[in-house]
Structure 1
Amino acid sequence: MSRSEPGKVAERFAKDLINMLNRTVCEGAFVGILERPDGMVVFGTELRRGQRPQPIPMRTRGGVPCWLTVSGQVFLDGDGYLTVKKSNFLVSAGKPALELFHYDYERDKIGYPDAHLQIFASGEAWDELLLASGKSGGSVSKLHLPVGGRRYRVALEDIIEALIAEDILEPQAGWKPVLERSRDDFRRRQLAAAVRRDPSTAVAELQARGYTVAAPDQALVGNVVQFSKTRLRRRLGRRKPPER
């Protein structure tokens, strides 16, 4: 079955994830996609038709199994850009795998921050605070801790790098530039999206730094005029000078 345009873009996105994971902390990781009739594309680790995303093993230093589950939904917005509707990065450990924490993002989430962290942990101080607020003891995992919002949320690469820095994961040789390139791509896409949604702030900052920024219609006219002049010069350059 041929891919739709959203499916083709999402497939490239999944391949980039596979490449990043297998060149940093995984071996043989797979990220699958499934297209829905409404134009949404579901993605996930070890995602196969009729199944749910599954955890994939990461290389650890101490021998204790550590797992990563990635899942989410993407679509093409009105301008044709691949857009994340929701995503989930879950880290678990042990056999059977028990959840440690997960970073979630859900566009336009009601009641909680769009981008948030949930940690599976406990402590007397936490219990005292939560019980006083009407929650049950040991419910730290129910708290949605904000992590940067829609544009500045934590990237999967940040999570992987943190686990490497804490000596939990054993990365592949040459992992760092791979991780940095992948994260830079993500941040540039986020920056571009921020500029599209708030061009006036981008214009103001560029002008403050000495750039001259033209409105879209003026820029278009200028480009057309410059293009016409360039074509004219090229055409005249190929001709013999007119006789006097």
Structure 2
Amino acid sequence: MNEYHDMYDRMAKRCLMLSNRAIIQFINGIYEVNHPLDSEVTYNWTKHEDDDLRKTLADIIITIGGVSSYHLEFQMSEDGSITFRILEYGFNHAIKKQKDEAVLEFPEPILICLYEAKAVPAEKTLEIRFGNQGIYHYKVPVIKYLALSQEELHQKNMIILIPFQLLKLRKEIEKERTEENLKALKYLVTHDIINSIAMNVEAGNITPTDGRKLKSLTLQLYHHIYDKYQEVADEGVSEAVEEALILDID
């Protein structure tokens, strides 16, 4: 994994390490389930080894209430083998957690695309052929994060991924640092992101500590993406962003 993808991988994991309340709200929202907010949350950080002894790491598998497991995979660019890897990680998890010799239970998968995934279907499918026993279609629902409106993000309780809103303007800023683009970037952070965090803290969806952590993660990701452009600093965008994000949410 190169440095570019490693940064987003680490950021996703840190977003999913907020309070149990925030994580359960998130799981309930994107999977359309209804776990009690005081349920136990267990993280399954498990390394697997394939036949060539190359270590692979399942992105994030979370178990709620000791019973229901959810597999979240994040993707930064198109990858034709992603569905197979999700199946592989899910299989390895199921083997490790197997309690009944006659039952193999996979975690529920979801793929979250953090890039402009217009051509990606709403569901990825892997056809598994069992010879005379027939064919099974392994399905992975897809969430196109950057295509979601603010209202949809709120409905799905996706506030814990708010730092990734910074990706919405990444391509435009990379292509051209116009006055309009720079103003949009400043507004995105100082208005959209800040207000979303404040609103969710006030609603009790996340804790004040979660809010401060999300602001810190947003600032880190902002510097990672935009510090290389001198125009961003020259136009006062970075100064405004830092001023907005370093303030406590209380």
What is the TM-score with the length of structure 1 in the denominator?
0.34
Q: Which has the higher helix share?
A: 2
What is the TM-score with the length of structure 2 in the denominator?
0.34
- Select the structure with the greater relative contact order (CA < 8 A; seq sep ≥ 6): 2
Asked which structure has the greater CA Rg, the reply is 1
